[in-house]
Amino acid sequence: MSEKLRRVIIEPVTRVEGHGKVSILLDKENKVKQARLHIVEFRGFERFIKGRPFWEVPVLVQRLCGICPVSHHLAAAKAMDRIVGGEKLTPTAEKMRRLMHYGQFFQSHSLHFFHLVSPDLLFGFDADPAIRNVIGVAKKFPDLAVQGVMMRKFGQEVIKATAGKKIHGTGAIPGGVNKNLSIEERDFLLKDIDQMVVWARSALKIAKDYTVEHLEKLAPFGSFESNHMSIIRKDGAMDLYDGGLRAIDEDGNKIFDHVDNQLYTDYLIEEVRNWSYMKFPFIRSIGPENGWYRVGPLARINCCDFIDTPEAEAARKEFMAVTNNKPNNISMAYHWSRMIETLHSIEKIKQLLNDKDLQGNDLVVKGQRREHAVGIIEAPRGTLIHQYEVDENDQVVMANLIVSTTHNNEPMNRAVQKVANDHLSGVEITEGLLNHVEVAIRAYDPCLSCATHAMGKMPLTVELFDNEGNLLDRKSK
């Protein structure tokens, strides 16, 4: 066995939500032969939801995640709306849920940008890991760190006001919500709203300036052409809460559009591979080879025709101009697009807080009972699909969840492969170079816990194997 044949393992991947590892297989010339992101968690929520009463599911299933529980809460609630025939919500109920959802976007995107990603952007991908972390940011850029914390806190306060708790609340119930927004709650949030808008603008500027300034380096970094998918409003506007499915190819041609959520299985299918607990979804009509797609902020900006809030729409136009209004396929552009959504979310929150419908008392509707339902929502990390069957005794008999990170499984693997090929091939592998792999993964803001519906500890590892599969080197964080 030659000493130069090896497999590198990054385990755990750090500054992502959940536990994953990367394995990179190098050939005799130290060239990257294969690079994979393995998801090593397993949870089994789809199984233990079975038998539970359907009204319990929106509260139960959000325990999948501590970062984006609201997304699971609302996706499940949307499905259960259909189970009770209450999918046409009252204005108060829909606006309360939307407020909760935008609060979730605001806090989740802020957490990701400031706590998980900013160390890479502010200090460099291969900076000393001792300072390339959130504590390093807090020391060198204290104002920015505080801003990140306060933005996240504000989003959490919005969630508390709508769901009863900052994490794992109970606001959405089948057919509606269990509370409106009191005047006190509204005024409490309104007092900080303008500051939040200012900070969201400044975070967007940081992301935009960084991307534009480093475009030459970032454009090829972990990048590749791909399809994109999101839900979309009837008029083509970005809608994070509700809409039909739209998928476009790398040039912006529509693959499908305004697909009824209930029929998603006619358009999407999942494939299992034996080296990861995370499935690989793809577009049926194209097949597994080329039918994979990206979801999340980048895909949403690419898919939508416009954004219905003025500042975010202006930012979207600037963003799209970089690629001449064609879909942006740059992985690192996720950060910029994520901050456009952060600004959009706070604009929406401001609109909603001034909407008197939120003080309404008509909270729940019910109609014709159904046994099968799908709920689809855009979670911060991308399209989230919940599908359930409920029997005549009100018990769940089938659950299928396709979470945002699962859609991005193939893209993240492509990004890892690309970065490994471009940066790790034929050179001595250092911690800084390994972090390049993680930087590419972080662009997608994966939530590996959600994606495997999982149990276990958090982190990412890189292992180096020879071409016969023998472990030669291993670096963990």
Which residues of this protein are in contact with another protein, per CB under 8 A? 51-53, 55-56, 58-60, 63, 84, 163-165, 168-171, 173-174, 178-179, 364, 393-395
Q: How far apart are CA 255 and CA 471, in angstroms?
A: 42
Least Å from the CB of residue 406 to another protein: 23
CB atoms within 10 A of CB 287: 12
Write the CA distances from 368 to 151, 173, 175, 233, 261, integer angstroms: 41, 16, 11, 25, 18
DSSP 13: P
Least Å from the CB of residue 39 to another protein: 24
Least Å from the CB of residue 394 to another protein: 6
Instruction: Pick between residue 162 and residue 345 the one whose CB is nearest to another protein.
Output: 162
Least Å from the CB of residue 423 to another protein: 43
Instruction: Pick between residue 324 and residue 393 the one whose CB is nearest to another protein.
Output: 393
Chain centroid to CA 6: 33
- Contact (CB, 8 A) for 196 and 106: yes
Instruction: Pick between residue 169 and residue 327 the one whose CB is nearest to another protein.
Output: 169
Helix or strand (DSSP H, E) at 255: strand 254-259
Instruction: Pick between residue 144 and residue 161 the one whose CB is nearest to another protein.
Output: 161
Instruction: Pick between residue 155 and residue 169 the one whose CB is nearest to another protein.
Output: 169
Least Å from the CB of residue 63 to another protein: 6
Least Å from the CB of residue 50 to another protein: 10
Strands (E), 262-412: 268-271, 280-283, 293-294, 372-379, 382-390, 396-402
- Contact (CB, 8 A) for 118 and 109: no
Q: How far apart are CA 106 and CA 119, in angstroms?
A: 20
* Length of the chain in terms of residues written: 477
Instruction: Pick between residue 60 and residue 424 the one whose CB is nearest to another protein.
Output: 60
Least Å from the CB of residue 89 to another protein: 15
Residue 340: which of 376, 377, 302 has the closest Cα? 302
Least Å from the CB of residue 191 to another protein: 20
Instruction: Pick between residue 61 and residue 255 the one whose CB is nearest to another protein.
Output: 61
- Contact (CB, 8 A) for 96 and 171: yes
Q: How far apart are CA 214 and CA 201, in angstroms?
A: 20
Instruction: Pick between residue 60 and residue 70 the one whose CB is nearest to another protein.
Output: 60
Residue 321 makes CB contacts below 8 A (sequence gap 6+) with: none
Helix or strand (DSSP H, E) at 9: strand 6-12
